[in-house]
């Protein structure tokens, strides 16, 4: 019989101060504010300055989450770090964050599930907590996309979508008293279909391309920049997010109508609007942040969670559902009582 529960006890986020509007991108990408908003819902995003790294953003978000949880850094016994834009090829960026936090020797795990990274990380942390082996796990989703985008007109379809930012939560072990009323992770569901991996990917650098991991030809062809089949992503995202939300509700023994707030991954406002329409979810129960942050990949859900708390939209005791879809293809859902 389950004796523990995993509770989100702290939430924090950070975005770099530099704001890049659609009008700013008009000067770079042969695009327009109207075109970007119609296709994505994005108005602006935040980009880092040259000297700022992924782990710098993660550090700020982590410190805020730790303060929110009311614990000391020394109480953290694991870091799970989700990102597709690491500080360096290796080691994992979680190690750099650990050093900046000054909490050596604890376990650090980096995962690469792109837009579903936060829910994957939440699911992994939940299992460690419920096993009784860990008490406070720091989960981070952090991205610096701006340094890896094609900022010429060739990259306009992708570059306009992405922003930089970080979100973090503290997942803590508590005794389970009331499975219905207790704040806890109720279920997480994780999925993938690698046969569609090349519909949204960055081909290079990579050891799967031939003799060289990276060479001049790859760079000249722009293989180091994201490539996306937008129509395919949209069709699969709406289908899979709807499916996994329905499945998660069934597993958690709740109805969609019982959910107080939906925190979807923020890839495209049109995707989230379509999912809500397919599941008859009222607009007021979906909290979107893509308008001001763009797609911050692994950071979107914790970043949105923090914004929702600050706005008074998310309050303790609420039943929350999250879903995400992204490169891999991977998709995932989570239901939790905050």
The set of catalytic residues is: 115, 265, 295
Cα separation, 60 vs 292, whole angstroms = 19
Measured CA to CA in angstroms, residue 142 lies from 60, 216, 311 at distances of 11, 29, 22
Cα separation, 68 vs 338, whole angstroms = 14
- Compute the half-sphere exposure of residue 288: CA atoms within 13 Å on the CB side of its CA: 23
Give me the count of residues in the chain.
338
Three-state DSSP class for 203? coil
Q: Give me the sign of the Cα torsion angle 314, 317, 319, 320.
A: positive
Q: What angle do CA 268, 269, 275 make, to 5 degrees?
A: 100
Cα separation, 47 vs 49, whole angstroms = 7
* DSSP class per residue in 72-104: -GGG--EEEEE-SS-SSSSS-HHHHHHHHHT-T
In angstroms and rounded to an integer, the radius of gyration of the C-alpha atoms of the chain is 19
Only one residue has tokens 């607009």, namely 283
Dihedrals phi, psi of 206, to nearest 5 degrees: -175, 150
Structure tokens at 291: 């308008």
Beta bridge partners of 335: 187, 321
- Compute the half-sphere exposure of residue 125: CA atoms within 13 Å on the CB side of its CA: 35
Strands (E), 22-164: 44-46, 78-82, 107-111, 136-143
Measured CA to CA in angstroms, residue 124 lies from 140, 187, 235 at distances of 12, 12, 28
């Amino acid at each position: 019989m389950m004796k523990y529960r995993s509770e989100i006890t702290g939430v924090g986020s950070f975005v770099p101060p530099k704001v890049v509007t659609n009008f700013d991108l008009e000067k770079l990408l042969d695009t327009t504010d109207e075109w970007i908003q119609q296709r994505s819902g994005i108005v602006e995003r935040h980009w880092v300055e040259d000297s700022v790294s992924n782990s710098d953003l993660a550090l700020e978000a982590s410190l805020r989450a730790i303060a929110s949880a009311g614990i000391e850094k020394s109480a953290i016994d694991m870091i799970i770090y989700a990102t597709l834009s690491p500080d360096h090829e290796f080691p994992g960026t979680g190690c750099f964050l650990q050093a900046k936090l000054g909490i050596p020797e604890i376990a650090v795990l980096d995962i690469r599930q792109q837009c579903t990274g936060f829910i994957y990380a939440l699911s992994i942390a939940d299992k460690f907590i419920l096993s009784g082996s860990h008490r406070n796990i720091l989960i981070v989703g952090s991205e610096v996309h701006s340094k890896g985008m094609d900022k010429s007109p060739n990259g306009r379809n992708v570059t306009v979508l992405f922003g930089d930012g970080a979100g973090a939560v503290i997942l803590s072990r508590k005794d389970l008293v009331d499975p219905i009323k207790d704040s806890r992770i109720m279920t997480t569901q994780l999925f993938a279909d690698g046969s569609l991996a090349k519909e949204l990917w960055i081909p290079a650098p990579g050891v799967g391309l031939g003799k060289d991991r990276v060479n001049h030809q790859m760079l000249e062809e722009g293989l180091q920049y994201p490539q996306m089949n937008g129509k395919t992503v949209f069709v699969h995202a709406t289908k899979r997010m709807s499916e996994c939300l329905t499945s998660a509700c069934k597993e958690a023994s709740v109805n969609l109508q019982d959910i107080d707030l939906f925190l979807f991954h923020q890839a495209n406002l049109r995707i989230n609007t379509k999912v809500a329409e397919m599941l008859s979810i009222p607009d007021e129960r979906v909290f979107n942040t893509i308008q001001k942050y763009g797609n911050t990949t692994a950071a979107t859900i914790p970043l949105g969670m923090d914004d929702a708390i600050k706005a008074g939209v998310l309050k303790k005791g609420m039943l929350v559902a999250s879903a995400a879809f992204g490169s891999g293809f991977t998709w995932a859902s989570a239901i939790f009582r905050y």
